[in-house]
Amino acid sequence: MSLFGRSQQKGSNAPIGPPVDPVWARDSRGRFHRFLPLDPEEAGLNGKGGVFVIWHAGVQPAWVYVGQSDDLAGTLHMVGNDKDILSFEVNGGLFVTWSFVLKEFRSGVVRYLEETLHPLVPTRDEWPQETHPIAVFSPGGEPKNPSA
């Protein structure tokens, strides 16, 4: 199997690496989406699966939550009602992005992001202990396009 063009060796306990660019979603101006004003259906997320990351800006920006879903629109609506996550809106606003990661790799990507970003609200995802972390660039950490 491959993830973003990389192959994973069966039985390997190491994360796939080096990190790959999952192509985090941005708006038409190239900026990350504000979380609360986002209409997930209008963004075309209804019935689409992937991984998402929520963070807050402000004086001390921080990662807030990392998750995965088979229906990003529905999940973002649910997460938008989570008081633990919404409590960080006052800290410079909440932002969100997502990547359409194949289902068989989502848990590994979420595990890697959870272990490296240390979000303030721990993931509610449960994965088998043998889930291997899959290294991806965090939002805003992707490599610069040399032709840009």
- What are the tens digits of pLDDT across the range 6-58? 334 444 455 556 889 999 999 999 999 999 999 999 999 999 999 999 999 98
CATH superfamily entry for domain 23-136: GIY-YIG endonuclease (3.40.1440.10)
What is the predicted pLDDT for the residue at 148?
Answer: 45
What is the predicted pLDDT for the residue at 107?
Answer: 93
CA distance 95 to 108: 22
* pLDDT tens figures, 67-92: 999 999 999 999 999 999 999 998 78
Residue, of 59 and 47, whose pLDDT is higher:
47
Q: Using the 8-state DSSP alphabet, how is residue 107 labeled?
A: H
CA distance 72 to 51: 8
Residue, of 3 and 29, whose pLDDT is higher:
29
- The residues spanned by each domain of the chain are 23-136
> Residue 112 — φ and ψ, nearest 5°?
-60, -50
What is the predicted pLDDT for the residue at 145?
Answer: 59
